[in-house]
């Protein structure tokens, strides 16, 4: 017990030394938390702007469709499928969709586009598509009109109220051509989607492609956006072998690959950051050790056990680190909170690069509490390990030479 | 013995290679046989066969020489009224559902025609078997008990043709194109067209069924059946206009 008491008193004996050590931990935690928060925030945004707002976290389609994305490999949206999906409690939303390509034309311009035939009522709940309408109105239940992505509408020079011409290949070799009144213009976080989406009701799309009863995929939003393993295997078991149940990581490997690659890059960067932080902490510990050489030598010479002394110094260091880390969390949260509310906007150049990848060009921090705890724990761990150096040093200390130093 | 054989081979070779002019004549005659000297009107049933489904189309087609042709889809109802027009080097597609005429660009020529194994080029016949190829008689072969000329067609350098060569088998008696084989730039056979059901129509013996088989896709084929054909009825060039394409019945 005496060891704790002495450690506590030592901490308050030289306040300046205490503050300096704590400050080095404090800034280390803030820095690494902020870095991680930005990274995680970016991933969350990437996932949100494509998966959450559009593709869903799970997709069901035929295995042939997985291969080559042809409408001809569509699936029948049967009552039995609906029953299975309705009975699965961990699914919060599911949307049957037709996804296919078509040439879209306005008065003069023509552009390749992605046609989405979807259940617009379900879309309202799962993706809040109706909130994306920036001009005109959302589709009604048996609407024969279309919604056009903002980027596509700008290219084709069309607005709500105009007519859009779609030309494509239909189901089983039929041809698909039609004129559709434009009800509204929609905008997406992902500029890539805005540039190519044409949305119509599922029935209208089935009519257009001559494929009544057929959908290309069913997109699923699980509860809390969590990919529950038991639910996935339940779904896989419930459907025939020719239907694939795929998570967004399989559906959009480019997004998950990008995140994985970026994470590895992040690890390298974080490693360097930790290295810098470690040397900072190590420096203060070393200073403390040298500063108190005489004191330690004296304590040993009046009969204090080296092991007790070493433990005391280690406790001091750990206590300081813990306090610093906690203050660090308290400091990092408001900073990250600020940048979550006011995301960092990029300049034109980087914005273009982001658009090419299909993401909104803003950097929004994540407020996931785990990030801060994780970083604090990591820093505490690092400094506890570093404090082993003075610990060892004291164990081998020679009282006389220590006092002379 | 040996030199007799050599002479025989030389003679045979001489007799074939010396007849490149003849080969052109044979191809020309066979083309006229099916397309008429001046014009032809055809009613066709087209069956697109895929491993999992088949689809039927019906159409009417008017043609005048190599330069003019008009194809009108009459079945199914959804595609009825869709028309294709070819006029010299240009081709258009009228789509009534969107009330638009689409000019077929050269890059669209190799795309599938109405979802079949035929390409747009096959239908609008931008390239001509007679005009765009050099012809060479390379032998004779029995096909379905008929003796056929085997003629190799090499595209002329300036011709807009995607094949590296085409082998035509033409029935010697009736001058009917019994089979053609299309080769790509690697000299692999990629498509084969087989004629069958030889019947007399409008006083001519013609093959009434043509089957196109793409060799790179298993189970894919397109069958074209001639229901009615009329040769060399008077047909004005003014018939082949983008205006008429929209209203022709």
Full 3-state SS string of B131-172: CCEEEEEEEEEEECCEEEEEEEEEECCCCCCCCCEEEEEEEC
The percentage of residues in chain A with a pLDDT greater than 90, rounded to a whole number, is: 39
Averaged pLDDT, B106-122: 84
Question: Who among A167, A175, A178 is closest to B79 (CB)?
Answer: A175
Cα A60 to chain center, whole Å? 23
Strand partners, A264: none
CB A403 within 8 A of CB A304: no
Cα A220 to chain center, whole Å? 18
Q: Classify the phi-psi angles of B27: left when phi > 0, otherwise alpha if psi is within -120 to 50, otherwise beta.
A: alpha
Q: What is the pLDDT of residues A103-127, one digit of tens each?
A: 999 988 899 999 999 999 999 988 8
The percentage of residues in chain A with a pLDDT greater than 70, rounded to a whole number, is: 98
CB A179 within 8 A of CB A115: no
- Are B97 and A210 within 8 A, CB to CB? no
Closest by Cα among A124, A113, A119 to A164:
A113
Domain boundaries, chain B: 18-233
Range A74-81 contact pairs with CB under 8 angstroms and sequence separation of 24 or more? A74/A98, A74/A171, A74/A211, A74/A214, A74/A215, A74/A216, A75/A214, A75/A215, A75/A216, A75/A217, A75/A243, A76/A213, A76/A214, A76/A215, A77/A213, A77/A214, A77/A215, A77/A218, A81/A218, A81/A239
Q: What is the band of A380 on the pLDDT scale with cuts at 50, 70, 90? A: confident
Closest by Cα among B105, B113, B53, B52 to B82:
B113
Q: What is the pLDDT of residues A9-53, one digit of tens each?
A: 988 888 888 898 888 889 888 988 898 898 888 888 888 777 888
| Per-residue pLDDT at B17 | 46
- Are A167 and B50 within 8 A, CB to CB? no
Question: Who among A105, A167, A210 is closest to B78 (CB)?
Answer: A210
Gyration radius of chain A's alpha carbons: 30
Interchain contact B102–A (C-beta under 8 A): yes
User: Cα separations (Å) of A380 from A272, A317, A350?
Assistant: 17, 10, 36
Task: Please tell me whether residue A113 adopts helix, strand or coil conformation.
Answer: strand
How far apart, in whole angstroms, are the C-alpha atoms of residue B61 and residue A320?
A: 91
- Partners of residue B95 in chain A, C-beta under 8 Å: 167, 175, 177
Averaged pLDDT, B92-118: 87
Range A123-130 contact pairs with CB under 8 angstroms and sequence separation of 24 or more? A123/A95, A125/A93, A126/A56, A126/A92, A126/A93, A126/A94, A126/A95, A126/A219, A126/A221, A127/A52, A127/A53, A127/A54, A127/A95, A129/A186, A129/A199
| Per-residue pLDDT at B14 | 44
Q: What is the band of B8 on the pLDDT scale with cuts at 50, 70, 90? A: low
Distance from CA of A40 to the nearest CA of B (A): 46
Average pLDDT, chain A: 89
Cα A304 to chain center, whole Å? 53
CB A285 within 8 A of CB A387: yes
Higher pLDDT: A280 or B55? It is: B55
Rounded to the nearest 5 degrees, what angle is found at the Cα of A287, between the Cα atoms of A286 and A288?
A: 90
| Per-residue pLDDT at A3 | 86
Determine how β-strand B146-155 pairs with β-strand B165-171: antiparallel
- Are A173 and B78 within 8 A, CB to CB? no
Instruction: Indicate if the pLDDT at residue B10 is higher than 70.
Output: no
Average pLDDT, chain B: 86
Closest by Cα among B182, B145, B186 to B166:
B182
Q: What is the pLDDT of residues A184-221, one digit of tens each?
A: 999 887 788 889 999 999 999 999 999 999 999 999 99
| Per-residue pLDDT at B18 | 44
- Partners of residue B97 in chain A, C-beta under 8 Å: 177-179
Q: What is the pLDDT of residues B195-214, one digit of tens each?
A: 999 999 998 889 999 999 99
Higher pLDDT: B82 or B159? It is: B82
Interchain contact B219–A (C-beta under 8 A): no
Gyration radius of chain B's alpha carbons: 19
Backbone angles phi and psi of A52, in degrees to 5:
-65, -40
Task: Please tell me whether residue A143 adopts helix, strand or coil conformation.
Answer: coil
Preceding amide of B76 cis, omega within 30: yes
Distance from CA of A208 to the nearest CA of B (A): 10
Averaged pLDDT, B42-66: 91
Residue A66: how many other CB atoms lie within 10 Å: 16
| Per-residue pLDDT at B160 | 76
The percentage of residues in chain B with a pLDDT greater than 70, rounded to a whole number, is: 90
Determine how β-strand B39-49 pairs with β-strand A362-363: unpaired
- Partners of residue B119 in chain A, C-beta under 8 Å: none
Q: What is the pLDDT of residues B185-196, one digit of tens each?
A: 999 999 999 999
Instruction: Indicate if the pLDDT at residue B15 is higher than 50.
Output: no
Q: What is the band of B16 on the pLDDT scale with cuts at 50, 70, 90? A: very low
- Are B79 and A167 within 8 A, CB to CB? no
- Partners of residue B51 in chain A, C-beta under 8 Å: none
Beta strands in A235-334 (DSSP E): 243-247
Interchain contact B39–A (C-beta under 8 A): no
Nearest CA in chain A to B100: A165
Instruction: Indicate if the pLDDT at residue A77 is higher than 70.
Output: yes
- Partners of residue A166 in chain B, C-beta under 8 Å: 98
Interchain contact B78–A (C-beta under 8 A): yes
| Per-residue pLDDT at A405 | 67
Instruction: Indicate if the pLDDT at residue A261 is higher than 50.
Output: yes
Q: Of A323-332, A347-356, B75-84, give the lowest mean pLDDT range.
A: A347-356
Closest by Cα among B192, B147, B139, B206 to B172:
B147
B18-233: CATH superfamily: Lipoprotein localisation LolA/LolB/LppX (2.50.20.10)
Averaged pLDDT, A319-336: 91
Q: Residues of A at the B interface (Cβ-Cβ below 8 Å)?
A: 105, 165-167, 169-170, 172-175, 177-179, 210
């Amino acid at each position: 017990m005496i060891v704790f008491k002495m450690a506590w008193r030592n901490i308050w004996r030289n306040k300046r030394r205490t503050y300096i050590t704590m400050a080095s931990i404090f800034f280390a935690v803030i820095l690494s938390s902020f870095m991680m928060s930005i990274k995680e925030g970016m991933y969350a945004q990437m996932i949100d702007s494509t998966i959450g707002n559009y593709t869903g976290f799970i997709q069901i389609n035929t295995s042939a469709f997985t291969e080559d994305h042809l409408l001809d490999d569509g699936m029948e949206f049967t009552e039995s499928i609906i029953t299975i999906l309705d009975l699965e409690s961990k699914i919060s939303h599911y949307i049957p969709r037709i996804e296919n390509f078509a040439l879209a034309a306005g008065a003069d311009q023509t552009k390749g586009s992605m046609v989405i035939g979807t259940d617009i009522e379900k879309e309202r709940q799962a993706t809040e598509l109706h909130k994306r309408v920036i001009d005109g109105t959302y589709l009604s239940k048996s609407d024969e009109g279309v919604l056009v992505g903002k980027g596509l509408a700008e290219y084709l020079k069309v607005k709500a109220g105009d007519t859009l011409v779609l030309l494509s290949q239909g189901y089983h070799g039929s041809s698909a051509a039609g004129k559709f009144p434009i009800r509204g213009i929609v905008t997406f976080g992902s500029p890539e989607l805005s540039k190519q989406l044409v949305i119509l009701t599922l029935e209208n799309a089935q009519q257009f492609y001559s494929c009544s009863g057929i959908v290309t995929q069913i997109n699923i939003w699980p509860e809390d956006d969590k990919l529950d393993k038991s639910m996935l295997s339940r779904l896989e078991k419930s459907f025939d072998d020719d239907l694939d149940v795929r998570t967004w990581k399989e559906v959009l490997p480019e997004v998950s690959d990008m995140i994985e690659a970026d994470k590895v890059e992040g690890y390298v960067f974080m490693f360097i950051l930790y290295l810098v932080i470690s040397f900072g902490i190590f420096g203060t510990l070393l200073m403390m050790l040298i500063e108190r050489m005489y004191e330690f030598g004296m304590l040993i010479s009046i009969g204090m056990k080296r092991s007790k002394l070493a433990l005391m110094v280690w406790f001091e260091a750990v206590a300081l680190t813990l306090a610093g880390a906690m203050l660090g969390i308290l400091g990092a949260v408001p900073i990250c909170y600020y940048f979550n509310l006011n995301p960092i906007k990029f300049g034109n150049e980087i914005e273009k690069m982001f658009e090419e990848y299909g993401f909104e060009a803003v950097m929004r921090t994540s407020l996931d509490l785990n990030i801060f705890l994780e970083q604090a724990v990591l820093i505490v761990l690092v400094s506890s390990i570093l404090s082993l150096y003075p610990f060892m040093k004291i164990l081998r200390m020679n009282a006389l030479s220590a006092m002379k130093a | 013995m040996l030199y007799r054989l050599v002479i025989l081979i030389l003679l045979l070779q001489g007799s074939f290679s010396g007849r490149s002019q003849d080969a052109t004549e044979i191809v020309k005659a066979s083309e006229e046989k099916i397309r008429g000297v001046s014009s032809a009107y055809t009613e066709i049933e087209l069956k697109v066969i895929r491993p999992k489904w088949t689809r039927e189309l019906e159409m009417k087609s008017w043609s005048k020489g190599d330069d003019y042709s008009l194809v009108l889809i009459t079945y199914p109802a959804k595609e009825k009224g869709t028309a294709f027009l070819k006029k010299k080097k240009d081709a258009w597609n009228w789509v009534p559902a969107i009330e638009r005429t689409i000019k077929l660009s050269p890059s669209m020529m190799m795309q599938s025609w109405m979802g079949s194994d035929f390409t747009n080029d096959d239908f609008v016949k931008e390239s001509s078997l007679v005009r765009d190829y050099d012809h060479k008689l390379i032998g004779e072969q029995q096909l379905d008990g008929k003796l056929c000329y085997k003629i190799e067609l090499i595209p002329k350098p300036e011709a807009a043709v995607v094949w590296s060569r085409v082998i035509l088998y033409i029935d010697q008696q009736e001058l009917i194109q019994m089979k053609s084989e299309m080769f790509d730039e690697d000299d692999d056979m990629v498509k084969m067209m087989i004629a069958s059901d030889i019947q007399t129509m409008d006083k001519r013996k013609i093959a009434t069924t043509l089957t196109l088989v793409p060799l790179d896709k298993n189970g894919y084929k397109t069958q074209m059946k001639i229901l009615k054909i009329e040769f060399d009825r008077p047909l004005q060039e003014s018939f082949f206009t983008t205006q008429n394409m929209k209203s022709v019945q």
